Amino acid sequence: MPARSLPWAPLLMVLLVVNLGCGTNKPSNAIKVSGVVTLEGVPLEGAKVTYYSSSGDSPPFGVTDSKGRFELTTFDLKNLKEIDGALAGEYKVTVEMPSPAGRSPAEQMEAEHMKGRTKGAQKAKEKEVPVLHANYTDASKTPLKQTVPPRGAVELKLTKSGT
Question: Tell me: the pLDDT tens digits for 16-50?
Answer: 444 444 443 334 689 999 999 999 999 999 999 99
CATH number of 26-97+132-163: 2.60.40.1120
Length of the chain: 163
Return phi, psi of residue 111, to 5°: -65, -40
Rounded Cα gap, residues 42 and 160, in angstroms: 12
The most distant pair of C-alpha atoms in the chain lies apart, rounded to whole Å, by 79
Distance CA 91, CA 57 (A): 11
pLDDT at 57: 85
Q: Which residues are CB-contacts of 45 (< 8 A; sequence separation ≥ 6)?
A: 64, 65, 66, 67, 68
Distance, CA of 155 to CA of 19 (rounded, Å): 43
Contact, 98 vs 89, CB < 8 A?
no
pLDDT digit string, tens, across residues 104-127: 455 555 665 555 555 454 554 445
- What is the model's pTM? 0.66
20 or 77, which is more confident:
77
8-state DSSP, 5: H
Domains of the chain, residue spans: 26-97+132-163, 99-131
Q: How many CA atoms lie within 13 A of 8 on its CB side?
A: 5
